[in-house]
Amino acid sequence: MTDHLVIALAQLNPTVGAVTANLAKAREAYAAARKAGADLILYPELYISGYPPEDLVLRPSFVAACRSAIEDLAKDTADGPAVLVGVPWREAKALHNAVAFLNNGKIETLRFKHDLPNYGVFDAKRVFAAGPAPGPINFKGVRLGVPICEDIWTEESCETLAETGAEILLVPNGSPFEQNKDDQRLNLVVARITETGLPLAYLNQIGGQDELVFDGASFVINADRSLALQMPMFEEALAITEWTRGDKGWRMEKSDIARLPEKEEETWLACVLGLKDYVEKNRFPGVVLGLSGGIDSATASSMRRPAPRRSACAMTWCRSGSRSRAFSRPSSRCSMAGTAIRRKRTSNRAAAA
């Protein structure tokens, strides 16, 4: 039994379907966590497959590839640190949203998501089977509760874990961005902590996936409801957290508290990340922007600027005989954004049509 744990929280940006690339990124974080002296590293919900995997998990070959990646990663844990990582997992005839616990060079145990969301953007019940109410995982004499995302949105899973001896709650998530969602999550976690008396680490992924954007903003709250860690929004990050067992249970030593953007700033950052990942994860060679001199064009050209310098081309149309300022404004915007521009003249008749 230990009275001290170092837990790494890997707030990463996986790509749906890119099992090999996700595994490689996991190993980079794993190497950094090992160098920092971590005992355990936690990855987000369904990290290996990317989230949400949708119909990909209905392909047996894809689920098998995810399992193979987990078995490969497990070999790295022979000398530590241990790993908690999200993966789609078939058990008999049932397909589960699972977290695998990798330790001592093997898959030691799994936990399955109990509450499956089926509202809004979620349709988990269509592809996954609900698991039983989770029990704790014993690691170095510490009983770790690992509810998965939706499992903390109701009382049952966390209460079950507390009643069966859990000492720390480690929660992997794939929680999409909404305005003021960070406040909603904070209130939710405080409610679970109040009910169980246990500290809770909330780990979320970042990244864009089609119409969804994940903002990260992972955090840790101690049993006394004090904020011990706040990770940034819309950025990959690895947090090394130190935990100590005292007379009142486990407590994380206070660490970095990142400033979170609000209102228009967080919406802007969500749009930029969503656009960037949509282009890059779909392997588009570049983008074409149709620009005028208006505010909408200025917004579009500015939004792509923070992304890496992929090929971008702007097109502007003006009528024959129109003044040069019809071209000068979009040209100026493109110059500031580092975007090539092409000018297309149309006849008055074509423009009118």
Which residues are known to be catalytic?
Answer: 45, 113, 149
Provide the 3-class DSSP secondary structure of residue 256: coil
Please measure the distance between the N-terminal and C-terminal CA atoms of the chain and give it in whole angstroms: 78
Q: Look-up: residue for tokens 């001896």?
A: 165
Question: How big is the chain, counted in residues?
Answer: 353
Provide the 3-class DSSP secondary structure of residue 170: strand
Q: Which of 86, 87, 76 lies closest to 32, judged by CA?
A: 76
What letter represents residue 134's amino acid?
P
Q: Which DSSP category does 105 fall into?
A: T
| Residues facing residue 143 across a β-bridge | 138
Angstrom CA distances, 241 to 220, 231, 255, 324, stand at 9, 11, 7, 59
C-alpha–C-alpha distance, residues 247 and 249, integer Å? 6
Q: Are 249 and 167 in contact (CB under 8 A)?
A: yes
Six-digit token pair at 31? 């190497």
Angstrom CA distances, 65 to 72, 94, 303, stand at 10, 17, 36
